[in-house]
Amino acid sequence: MTTAILQSRLAAVKNVGHFDAEAVDSFARYIAEAPDEKLFRMNPYRYARETGTPERLAVDLFLHAAHAGVVEFSWGVICPACGSFITTDHALRALGEDRFCTICEIAVPPVIDDNVEVTFNVAPSARVIRFHDSEKLDFLRDSLTLFFSPSVADRTHIDRAVEKPVWFGTAPAGAKLETETSLAPGHYVLALPQYHSLRRFTVEEKAGGSTLDYEVLAGGELVQDGDRLAAGQVHMTLHNRLSRPVVFGAFTDPRPSSPEALAAKLDLLAGQSGEKFHRFFSVKELVTTQAFRDLFRAESIPAQGGLALKNLTVLFTDLKGSTELYSRMGDMRAYALVGEHFGILRDVVAARGGAVVKTIGDAVMASFPTPAPALEAAMVMNREVGRVGDLELKIGLHAGPCIAVDLNERLDYFGQTVNIAARVQAIADSRQIVCTDQVRDAPGAAEVITALSPVGAREMAALKGVDGHVGVWRYQ
């Protein structure tokens, strides 16, 4: 462990300003002392639960630690059927294409709201763990950690997947391994957990050969010669043509026994994602986090097509009478007040898990992963800005699908959801919040309204460029 480098990099995190020194010191101790498996695919929410750290602080700690080189991003598309963590080496840029789960043999579309998990590995320059070195990996101990998401809640099927391997080990670089073993009739797989590579073979009572040969090629591609063996004594070979060791294992096939069984399992899981997985840090939460926008900009968004979000909450603000403000106060004083108002909005948004997307003149566009914290932010910013030089905000909110894109090297959002949020803001009066039914009726919104007690009324509004009338709520 390179303690000096770790301390030096975390000192940079301390200097950010809003982190409590003890929180950073506690994080440093965790990185220095936690077992290797705890520092592989770290989940900020799990870290928060285990250490008693507030979730928002934990997320910001990990993002600033990634920026400082203490930890590194690790991205994975989670298979909804088995919980496999299908890694993507090119961050968000690779999420425009389906991933393939070799266990279930199904294409898994990446949905950044639901099944793309953002985790963190400790950087090898800060601390070396066995997951950095293939020679230190062990199939029985590490294969499940490599194959599956750490956020799977019910691990029964995972823990049983490799209970009785028929052959396993580590193949050194360039080595050819061989074994003789006796196999009973059944369905089997040989897997390379590091690469999520897997090949199936069947052992039958009588028909079939007696040898099975494998080659490991570039990128962990696994080539298999033959897929049917006769029960009894068989000869298996594995030739590792990589320049690094590879962990492998052959075991009973964990996939459901038929396509019908797999389809039934997927149907069952369709409405149970919350039960199947512990809460994990999703890409939607990442891209709507202020620290990510500040530290990493939009470097990872796919150049073509952007990223589709199923549901995002968009908030727009504008200052009432800003032109008169400059005339009344003079440029210098008015500019200072407007700048102070931007600072308040940014702090209020960031404290509730959102991010300021951009400023447009005296207006602000912000995004949130869910409506309730956005509604709370709107009510708090309306109150706080009103205390600054008698400034008056007009705020609008809407939630729905949109597209995240890289625009001028910054993350931005487009789509009808954004248009409606802007139009809703345009019909707001001074010191008024207008939100659509999609925001007002969302989980947690009623609790926010009860806690902050605004005076509200519903109406049907005609919005420019939007067909028909839209149900909105006005809060004063």
pLDDT digit string (tens) for the chain, length 476 residues: 457 778 888 888 888 767 888 999 999 999 999 999 999 999 999 999 999 999 999 999 999 999 999 999 998 999 888 888 988 766 676 676 788 888 888 888 888 788 889 999 999 989 999 999 988 999 999 998 999 999 988 777 667 767 788 999 999 999 999 999 999 999 999 999 999 999 999 999 877 778 999 999 998 999 998 888 999 999 999 999 999 999 999 998 877 555 565 565 555 455 445 567 889 999 899 989 999 988 886 556 665 667 788 899 999 999 887 777 778 888 888 888 888 999 999 999 999 999 999 999 889 999 999 999 999 999 999 999 988 877 889 999 999 999 888 777 788 899 999 999 999 999 999 999 999 999 999 999 999 998 888 888 999 998 988 888 999 999 98
> Do 115 and 80 touch, CB atoms closer than 8 A?
yes
Q: What is the largest CA-CA distance in the chain?
A: 95
304 with 372, same domain: the answer is: yes
- Residue found under tokens 């470097």: 299
pLDDT confidence of residue 289: 92
DSSP 428: -
Residue 267 falls inside a structural domain:
no
Shared domain for 188 and 239, answered yes or no, is yes
Q: Is residue 269 part of a domain?
A: no
Please state the separation of Cα 159 from the chain's center in Å. 24
Query: According to the model, what pLDDT value does residue 1 have?
Result: 46
What local confidence, expressed as pLDDT, does residue 300 receive?
60
Q: For residue 295, what is the enclosing H or E element?
A: helix 290-296
In a domain, 208, yes or no: yes
In-domain check, residue 271:
no
For the chain, the straight-line distance linking the first and the last C-alpha, in angstroms and rounded, comes to 56
Instruction: Check whether residue 308 and residue 375 sit in a common domain.
Output: yes
pLDDT at 261: 59
Q: Indicate the residue among 116, 151, 186 that finishes a domain.
A: 151
| Same domain, residue pair 235 and 128 | no
Last residue of a domain, one of 220, 236, 253: 253
| pLDDT, position 301 | 65
> What is the chain's length?
476
- Per-residue CA distances from 423 to 47, 148, 282, 436 (Å): 40, 44, 29, 11
**Whether residues 145 and 174 fall in one domain:** no
Residue 287 lies in a domain: no
Do 62 and 125 sit in the same domain of this protein?
yes
- Answer yes or no: do 7 and 102 share one domain: yes
**Secondary structure (3-state) at 422:** helix
In the chain, how many domains are there?
A: 3
Has residue 190 been placed in a domain? yes
Residue 385 belongs to a domain with what CATH number? 3.30.70.1230
Task: Provide the angle, in degrees to the nearest 10, between the axes of the packed helices 21-33 and 44-51.
Answer: 100
What is residue 311's predicted lDDT score, i.e. its pLDDT? 92
Residues 139 and 10 in one domain: yes
Residue 87 sits in the same domain as residue 187: no
> What domain range is 362 assigned to?
297-475
Residue 407 counted as domain residue? yes
Q: Are residues 8 and 143 part of one domain?
A: yes
| Whether residue 72 sits in one domain with residue 143 | yes
Mark which of 151, 186, 205 sits at the end of a domain.
151
In a domain, 258, yes or no: no
